[in-house]
């Protein structure tokens, strides 16, 4: 009882076990369930080994000197987030927001983005999610947001530069959606492909204006 209360695997108090087992007879002990399987079938051993591996994988990542290491997952859609949560990830370190825009020739509305982001954050529960704002261009074209050809698209107008230079309204919509979700969930923002301090200042100005809009809408609603 003490071992179980401490979360320690143990097998104790099985009546008649010593009389039922011969010397050298193979046993399979399951400390989580408190059971002993005598003469286990061949398929039982790998099954239990797989289960033990899954249990270890879900344990917190702690170094030998006792330091806790947070392990986050990358995610590109809701299914990735659900798998990350099931695998025991401490959060999502990079949620690619492109999934909000793919599969349609129409840009999503702010409310549609809120609904999809809430589905992801609901899947992660209280664990943090870091949302990267839209990063398209170069090798990631977007049907709903066609861009002119560039000589060097990998270093051209993409990521935050694209949003600031060509579609600041798109960035504002995305930031407002994120702020609305962040009111209920631990959601954070990441701006991609930042190249200058001025871009950071412009993005923060859009963020501040979006926060003002969201707060005003909350006060009026």
Instruction: Taking residues 82-104, report their average pLDDT.
Output: 89
Q: Would you state the pLDDT for residue 3?
A: 59
Question: Taking all residues of the chain, what is their mean pLDDT, rounded to a whole number?
Answer: 83
Q: Would you state the pLDDT for residue 66?
A: 84
Instruction: Taking residues 93-119, report their average pLDDT.
Output: 89
Residue 5 has pLDDT above 60, yes or no: no
What gap in Å lies between CA 79 and CA 46, rounded to an integer? Answer: 28
Q: Would you state the pLDDT for residue 23?
A: 87
What gap in Å lies between CA 37 and CA 206, rounded to an integer? Answer: 63
Residue 17 has pLDDT above 90, yes or no: no
Phi, psi of 220 (to 5 degrees): -85, -20
% of the chain exceeding 70 in pLDDT:
80
Identify the band that residue 125 occupies on the pLDDT scale cut at 50, 70 and 90.
Answer: very high
Identify the band that residue 165 occupies on the pLDDT scale cut at 50, 70 and 90.
Answer: confident
Q: Would you state the pLDDT for residue 124?
A: 96
Would you tell me which CATH number, out of the four given (3.30.540.10, 3.20.20.60, 2.40.30.170, 3.40.50.720), belongs to the domain 71-220? 3.20.20.60
What gap in Å lies between CA 64 and CA 57, rounded to an integer? Answer: 16
Alpha carbon 23 to chain centroid distance? 50
CB neighbourhood size of 175 (10 A): 25
Q: Where are the domains of the chain?
A: 2-57, 71-220
- pLDDT digits 0-9 by tens, 26-55: 887 777 777 887 888 877 777 666 666 555
Q: Would you state the pLDDT for residue 167?
A: 84
- Token duo for residue 121: 């954050």
What gap in Å lies between CA 101 and CA 109, rounded to an integer? Answer: 10
CA–CA–CA angle 203, 79, 109 (5° rounding): 45
Residue 136 has pLDDT above 60, yes or no: yes
Identify the band that residue 150 occupies on the pLDDT scale cut at 50, 70 and 90.
Answer: low
* Residue with the larger pLDDT of the pair 58 and 13: 13
Q: Would you state the pLDDT for residue 171?
A: 92
Q: Would you state the pLDDT for residue 51?
A: 60
Residue 180 has pLDDT above 80, yes or no: yes
Instruction: Taking residues 130-137, report their average pLDDT.
Output: 87
Secondary structure (H, E, C), the chain = CHHHHCCCCCCCCCCCHHHHCCCCCCEEEECCCCEEEECCCCCHHHHHHHHHHHHHHCCCEECCCCCEECCEEEECCHHHHHHHHHCCCCEEEEEEHHHHCCCCCCCCCHHHHHHHHHHHHHHHCCCCEEEECCCCECCECCCCCCCCCCCCHHHCCCHHHHHHHCCHHHHHHHHHHHHHHHCCCCEEEECCCCCCHHHHHHHHHHHHHHHHHHHHHHHHC
Alpha carbon 26 to chain centroid distance? 42
């Amino acid at each position: 009882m003490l071992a179980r209360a401490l979360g320690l695997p143990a097998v104790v108090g099985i009546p008649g076990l010593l009389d039922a087992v011969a010397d050298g007879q193979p046993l399979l002990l399951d400390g989580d369930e408190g059971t002993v399987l005598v003469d286990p079938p061949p398929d039982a051993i790998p099954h239990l080994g797989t289960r033990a591996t899954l249990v270890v994988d879900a344990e917190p990542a702690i170094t030998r000197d006792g330091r806790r290491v947070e392990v986050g997952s990358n995610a590109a859609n809701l299914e990735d987030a659900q798998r990350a949560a099931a695998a025991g990830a401490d959060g999502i370190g990079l949620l690619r927001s492109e999934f909000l825009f793919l599969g349609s020739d129409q840009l999503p509305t702010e409310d549609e983005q809120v609904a999809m982001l809430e589905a992801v954050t609901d899947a992660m529960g209280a664990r943090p999610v870091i949302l990267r704002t839209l990063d398209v261009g170069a090798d990631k074209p977007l049907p709903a947001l066609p861009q002119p050809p560039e000589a060097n698209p990998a270093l051209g107008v993409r990521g935050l530069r694209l949003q600031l230079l060509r579609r600041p309204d798109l960035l504002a919509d995305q930031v407002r959606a994120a702020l609305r979700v962040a009111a209920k969930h631990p959601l954070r923002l990441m701006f991609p492909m930042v190249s200058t301090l001025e871009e950071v200042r412009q993005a923060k100005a859009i963020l501040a204006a979006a926060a003002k809009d969201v707060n005003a809408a909350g006060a009026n609603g």
